[in-house]
Chain A
Amino acid sequence: MMSYKEMAANVLEARDRYEEKKKRRKTLMLRCIPAAAGLCLAVVLGAAATKHPLTDIPQPPDIVTETAPVTDEEPVTAVTEAVTTASAAKPGRTTATAVSQTVTKPEVTVTAASDVTTVQGSEPSHTTAAANSIVTEAAVPQTLPIATVPGKQEQTAAVTARTEKVSQSTQAPATVTMPVSPVENMPSPVETAPADPTENVTPTLKEGGPDDPYGIKAVCRKYGFIDIAPANIPEGFELNDIGYEEQEDVNVLFINFNRKRSRPYGGIGETIYLIYSFNKKAEPPDNWDTIIPPPDVENMTSTVNGYEFRHYYSSLDKQLYAIYTDNNQRFTIMVCGSDRQTAESIFTSIA
């Protein structure tokens, strides 16, 4: 049994040892903390530099452009090639998706041209057995997103005039007649087209008028297109831009309507494209009935503003394709990225 003095000595000795240890620990911390802080800072800076190097400057996304060879001599072959390529990408179907993607940059008219080819040329080339594509005219595959719509072949008997279908649209069909006949007064795009091959020509509302709220008609007239424009655009969509492109045998006007996007790049369903293409050297097809649309729709004929369009809608591609031909000229309207009812209502509202 310890006396109180012995216990007191033990207690004070333990206290002294603790104080000494505490003092050494404090000195060590005062030396280590700055070094540790510097080390942590170096690690953080190194990690930041590794993840975001100063030399890594983000570049604007490249737009895919690809031009298909233009061959006037063998339009059929060209068509086949183009269609084959398209078939390889998406056999038997129009690639409205490609078109949609392209049109975001209206001045760039070509997307994955392997998927989309313009069938334009001196000879009408129609469906080819190999590709089962729909060809509306001689294929001069160019770098235009407006193109033949490869699809399955169908009997022409399946093609029936569906003017009543159009008239049954919930939207009032466009019945405004043009002051001039389409044949006589179809302007020549060669004569009035500007020299600049591609440009953004988005009009302001000021340029339009009561009958041209988007100013599209004014742009059409400016560039030699038939000055018709849809009066009906679905709610929420706004005119985004209009681009014009002039090529050797075709002039193209892209009209892009977008719904307000919640995502930075939107989606197909939120954009409606109107693509006016004017083939300067197009010839009427030998057999209009051989134009075979995709199997889910039937060819329809609608008279829109005095112009008789052959058109169909592909639910797979979410695209309405309408064409008017007059001898060597063709006027094509494509409504992309919307459902059938919306597409038809837009198309028929063109006035």
Chain B
Amino acid sequence: MENGESSYRRFLAGDDEGMVELIRNYKDGLILYLCSITGDIDSAEECVQDTFIRLAVKKPHFAGRSSFRTWLYAIGRNMAVDRLRSLKRRRQTSLEDAAEISDGTDLERSYLMSERKVTLHRAMRNLKKEYQQVLWLTYFEEFTAAEAASAMGKTRKQTENLLYNARKALRTELEKEGFSYDEL
């Protein structure tokens, strides 16, 4: 049984420490993943918090058809998409009134802990959001194609095609900055 699944079952049984463990293990990676959807780190953090609140309040049933992490990332993705939709309906906030938005550099460094990965992650920011998602899940979260498809709500074939195109785009982007894709 995966650590996340066991922690979640403990939480459902009444142990609040299980939720703490979940947050500790999955918060950063989920933030960085959702950042590719929302576009900014703070929105991603709020989405992650909302995701864990949903787990604590609604207590959805984990069927075990995929890994816990895939299941959690799928929930987080749905939360991020819903947030984007709601933000579209709201008024645009002026930049003067907007709070300072962090760029997530510290989180990036602390989570990735590899300059190579940080470089890669920064290069991904210039790509399409779907490319960012699939690359993040595949390269950084080490999701399989099936898990990435499940988390993104796509079929496996769609995910593989998306990954292929994302790599091509990432290669181009890295070459612009003087990096060789093969080295990564």
Residues 12 to 51 of chain B near chain A (Cβ within 8 Å) = 16, 19-20, 23-24, 27, 41, 45, 48-49
- Name B's A-contacting residues (CB within 8 A): 16, 19-20, 23-24, 27, 41, 45, 48-49, 52-53, 55-57, 102, 104, 106-107
Contact with B along A45-77 (1 / 0, CB 8 A): 000000000000000000000000000000000
**Among B27, B53, B56, B106, which residue has its beta carbon within 8 angstroms of that of A4?**
B27
> Do B57 and A8 touch across chains, with their CB atoms under 8 A apart?
no
> Do B16 and A12 touch across chains, with their CB atoms under 8 A apart?
yes
User: Which 9 residue pairs across A and B have the least CB separation, nearest first?
Assistant: A15-B56, A4-B24, A8-B20, A18-B57, A11-B52, A14-B53, A8-B23, A4-B23, A11-B56
Contacts A4-B24, A8-B20 hold; do A14 and B56 have CB atoms under 8 A apart? Answer: yes
**CA distance in complex: A2, B46 (Å):** 10
Residues of A within 8 A of B41 (CB): 1
> Do A11 and B49 touch across chains, with their CB atoms under 8 A apart?
yes
Other A-B pairs, 15, CB within 8 Å; known A2-B45, A11-B53:
A1-B41, A1-B106, A1-B107, A2-B49, A4-B20, A4-B23, A7-B48, A7-B52, A10-B49, A11-B56, A12-B19, A12-B56, A14-B56, A15-B53, A15-B57
Q: Does A31 contact B (CB under 8 A)?
A: no
Majority secondary structure, A binding face: helix
- Summed over the interface, the residue pairs from A and B with CB atoms below 8 Å come to a total of 42
**CA distance in complex: A7, B41 (Å):** 15
**CA distance in complex: A10, B102 (Å):** 20
Contacts A1-B102, A15-B56 hold; do A8 and B107 have CB atoms under 8 A apart? Answer: no
Residues of A within 8 A of B106 (CB): 1
Return A208 CB to nearest CB of chain B, in Å: 84
Contacts A1-B45, A1-B107, A2-B45 hold; do A11 and B102 have CB atoms under 8 A apart? Answer: no
Residues 1 to 58 of chain A near chain B (Cβ within 8 Å) = 1-2, 4-5, 7-8, 10-12, 14-15, 18
Residues of A within 8 A of B23 (CB): 4, 7-8, 11
Between A1, A14, A18, the greatest number of chain B beta carbons within 10 A of the residue's beta carbon is seen for: A1
- 28 CB-based A-B contacts, threshold 8 Å: A1-B41, A1-B102, A1-B104, A1-B106, A1-B107, A2-B45, A2-B49, A4-B23, A4-B24, A4-B27, A5-B20, A7-B23, A7-B27, A7-B48, A7-B49, A7-B52, A8-B19, A8-B20, A8-B24, A11-B49, A11-B53, A11-B56, A12-B16, A12-B19, A14-B53, A15-B56, A15-B57, A18-B57
**CA distance in complex: A2, B107 (Å):** 10
